[in-house]
Amino acid sequence: DRGTQFFNIHGSKSKFQSFLEENGIRYIPSRRNNPQTNGKIERFWLEYDRHRWRFGSIEEFIQWYNRRMHGALWVVIGECPQEAVFRKSNHANLLALFARWFDE
């Protein structure tokens, strides 16, 4: 999103940009005047609004969201989003990510 809550229109860094930088998070904004590029996150928030009453925290919701069956994925084997990411990704990168997480 390119909303003013994320970007300071006066040229200096917003609090959001500073937070991301301090925490080593790379932010990839959507393209200007193209709401379709926000589709995935908008769908996520729609699902969260529909189901949040079932969970004690957003972390619990994310666990459910990433581990549920999904019609757009490999339905024959009941693939969930988390499994699709693993199947489609470079396993060496995942191993390095896990090793870095484990060392913390």
Report the candidate in 36, 27, 64 with the shortest Cα–Cα distance to residue 48: 64
The residue that leads in pLDDT, 5 or 44, is: 44
> Which structure tokens are listed for 18?
């500073």
What is the structure's pLDDT at 26? 83
The whole-number pLDDT of residue 36 equals 74
pLDDT at 1: 64
Average pLDDT for 59-77: 74
Three-state SS for 1? coil
- Predicted TM-score (pTM) of the model is 0.49
Helix/strand/coil for 85:
helix
How does pLDDT run across 20-44, given as a tens digit for each residue? 889 888 877 777 777 777 777 788 8
